[in-house]
Amino acid sequence: MTCDQLVCANCNGRVSDGRCPVCRANRARLQQEQHGPFPTLNNAVLLALLFAAVLALALLLR
């Protein structure tokens, strides 16, 4: 989710505009979350990778 899609409940403006302290805090939080360890991978890809890792581990232990 991006800041352009969010509307602030405090000032009724876009979060990307940063009109109030609530907007600015949420915009900073969203930007920090986008720089996580896997920012471009969605949940389905991460789940598939986890499944493949568990399957590989099971085959190795067999």
The pLDDT of residue 2: 62
Q: Which residues, including other chains, have CB under 8 Å from residue 2's CB and lie 6 or more apart?
A: 16, 30
Question: pTM of the predicted model, to two decimals?
Answer: 0.50
6-33 core/surface letters (b: 16 or more CB in 10 A; e: else): bebeeeeebbbebeeeebeebbeeeeee
Instruction: Spell out the alpha helix ranges (H) of the chain.
Output: 21-33, 43-61
Q: Number of folded domains in the chain?
A: 1
pLDDT one-digit tens code per residue, 8-48: 888 888 888 888 998 888 888 887 776 666 666 677 888 89
1 pLDDT more than 60: no
Range of the domain at 28: 3-61
